[in-house]
Structure 1
Amino acid sequence: MKVVAYYRVSTKRQGESGLGLEAQREYVETAAQANGWEVVSEYTDVNVSGSVHPLERPEASKAFAHGLPVVVAKLDRLSRDVEHIAGLMKRADFKVATMPHAKTLELHLYAMLAQQEREFISQRTKEALQKLADRAENGDKDAQQKVANRSVALAKGRTKENQAKGGESTKAKASAFAESIRDTLELCVLKGTRTLQGVADCLNDKGVPTANGGKWQPMQVKRVMERLSLSF
C-alpha cells in the first residue's frame, strides 16, 4: 500500500537540528517495513503548533491532497485536539506508526488523552512561572536571573515574529519588548513603587535589562508604561 509520511516539529530549532524529526522518520520507516507500506512522499511542517488544524498547515495540507493514507509517527504530530482528530477521520485517511492497527474508537481515546496532556502541560507551565515570579519577588537571585533571561528571550522571539510579518518594525520591536517585561514591571508597581525612578531601580535590582541591554532610567520606564497603558 502506498502512503505519504507527514512530520511536524513545533519549533524552528528542532527543525534545524533534526531533533525530533529523525525519531519520527524512524517510527514511520519501522512501521512501513512491518506493514508493507511504500512511502511515496514526505512532508514536514517546522515551527507549526499542534493547535493549528492539520488541513490548515502548509505541508500537512499537501500531504493529505495526495488522497493516499497519511502516516504520522504519533497521533500528537497531527493534533492534540479531539475535534481536529474526529473531523479529520471523516475527511481523510491517516495512520499512526506507533499503533498502525488502531481502530476509530482507539484513536478517539488516544486523542482525548493527548488533549488532556496538553492541558496539563499548559497548567504546569503557568504554575511553574508563577512560582518563579514569587521566588524572584522574595529576593531569590537565581529566580530573578531566570526571569530576566526569559524576558530577554521573549523580547527577541516576539520581535522576530513581528518583523517577519512586516509593518512598522521599530514600533513592533518596542511593543514586543514592553509586553515581555509586563509581568515584572507590574510586580514592581504592586510592591508599592509610585515613582518612575522607583520602578527603574526595581527593574535594575531584578536584573532586567532595557531593550538595548543597559540600565533603566525614569524616561525609559515612562515610555514602556505608556505603551502598556500602565499607571501608578
Structure 2
Amino acid sequence: MTHGRFISYLRVSTDRQGRSGLGLEAQRAAVTDYLNGGAWTLIAEVVEIESGAKSDRPELDRALALCRAHRAILVVAKLDRLARDAHFLLGLHKAGVDFLACDMPSANRMTVGIMAVVAEEERRMISARTKAALAAAKARGRVLGGFRGRAGTGDDTARARAALQCNADARATALAPILERLDPDGTASLHALARALTAENVPTARGHSLWTPVAVARLRARLALASQ
C-alpha cells in the first residue's frame, strides 16, 4: 500500500502531443493506478514538453524543487521510456530526491546512475557515427547544410511572449500550494515569506535559491491576476 506525498512528472516529446494529451493520459493513468489503494497525496503534476534531443529539462528541475520543498517523492509512469535520456537520469541520480517509477518500483539511485552512464555512452557513440558519416559525405563532394529557417515575424514574437507568460503563470500556480502552506491566512510579510521560501530551497523564476520581497510580491500579484 502506497503512503506519502508525491509530485508526478510526465513528459511528451512534441508540442502536438502536449496539446492533444497523447501520451499524457496514459502516463497519468499509470501513476493513478499505481498509487490508488494507499494513503497518499498528489501535491502537483508537472508536465514537460521537450524534444528528446534537447538536454535542458526546466520542468524536471521544477518538479525536483517541489519535491524538496514538500519533502515529497517524485513519481514517473515509465522509467524505461526515459532510460536513454541521460540528462533526466543524471538529474534524478544527483538530485537527492526519493523517486518511484510505476513500471520499475525496485529502481533506486544506483539503478538510475548505471542507466545514465549507459545512456551517455550510447549518445556519444551515436554522435561519433553521425560525425563520421557527415565527414565521409563531405569527402565525396556532397554539399552539407542548407536553409536553416526564417527570420522571426511580429506574430512569432507575440507567440513567444504568450508562451513565456503561460510558463510564468504555470510556475506561479505550481508554487501556490507552498505559499498557502507558509501563509495560510495571507498575513505574513513579504520579508518573512522570502526567508521561508529561501529556507525551503524553492527556486525563483530565474532558478536562484535566494528569494527577495520583490519576487514574493510579483508571485502574489501573478496569482491574484490568475484568480480573477
TM-score (norm 2): 0.47
- The structure with higher relative contact order (CA 8 Å, sep 6+) is 2
User: Considering only CA atoms, is the larger Rg found in Structure 1 or Structure 2?
Assistant: 1
Normalized per residue, which structure has more helix?
1
